[in-house]
Structure 1
Amino acid sequence: MPRRKVRRTDRRPQRAKDLPDRRGSAHTDAFRCVGCRLDVPLSAPGTAHRNHCPHCLTSLHVDRRIPGDRDADCRGRMEAMGLSVRPDGEWMLIHHCLECGELSVNRIAGDDNPLALLRMAVRPLSDSRVPVRVLLTL
């Protein structure tokens, strides 16, 4: 039996999809992590702008200068490379963009993986090139 040829006019139109635009400003309630590929909710306890995955701490280079501005053109993957602590005791993640090399500092969120944060905090202690006694005097 011969196959029927489908003409372009016979196809059904596709449904409209709720996709983010180039800047990622769609009004969705979650995003997919570029590191571990898990769905991450946009709401985060302790911060107004979710900018990293709470599981693997990976981020996407979307902010330029102001947190939440979503004005960066790079859109590269940012890996958490270290931690910093403010004088008031708040922990900050230091991210490094793998595309453009820029560094950024982001607040940790209340639902970040505590094991991943502690692994990053004790990483300098496991480095055999730096004596532990030097780190303890800081």
Structure 2
Amino acid sequence: MPRRTRTGGRDRKDRRPQRSKDVLHGGGGHRARDFRCAGCRLDVSTSAPGTAHRNHCPHCLTSLHVDGRLPGDRSAGCRGRMDAVAVSARADGEWMLVHRCRSCGALGTNRIAGDDSALALVRLALRPLRGAFGAEPEPGAP
């Protein structure tokens, strides 16, 4: 099949240069405040009700090892995947997620957010009771 020729009168050298790819993704674009979950691959917004430093997925509760000593400091060098292993409650009744890093084994806690999956949180809270009553673990559960 013969190649089509351009009839617009502009050659390749006359065309407008292509925009760089960071036009939409850099500083203030539509993905500037999002991240992709390492567990379920969901696009997650970093703004969440109930927390100032979102770093876990509201669907599967998976996180990345990005924070060092302070929440939101993003100073950890590991960058490994962190799985939610437990739920803890503070004295004031606030729930915290306990994450363990798959790479270095470090434990960390995160505040739950208002849009976290209630089903995932309850499953995580009830995990210790599964073995106590002789129930079989869920498929894929550790």
Q: Which SS does the other structure have where 1:127 is aligned?
A: helix
Q: CA deviation at 1:89?
A: 0.3
Q: Which amino acid aligns with 1:49?
A: H
Q: Does 1:91 align with 2:95?
A: yes
What fraction of aligned residue pairs are identical, expressed as a percent? 61
Count of paired positions: 119
1:21-74 alpha-carbon deviations (Å, 9 max, x no partner): xxxxx6512111000000001111001010100000000010001000011110
TM-score by length of 2: 0.74
RMSD between aligned residues = 2.5
2-structure distance, mates of 1:94, 1:51:
13
Q: Does 1:80 align with 2:84?
A: yes
Quote how far apart the aligned CAs of 1:16 are. 3.5
* Cross-structure match for 2:124: 120
Q: 2:66 maps to which residue?
A: 62
Report the CA distance shift for 1:54/1:125 in structure 2 as closer, same or farther (over 3 A): same
TM-aligned CA deviation for residue 124 of structure 1: 1.0
| Residues 62-110 of structure 1, C-alpha deviations (whole Å, 9 max, x = no match) | 0001000011110000000001000100000000000010000110000
Unaligned runs of 5+ in 2: 1-12, 135-142
Runs of 4+ in 1 over 6 A off after TM superposition: none
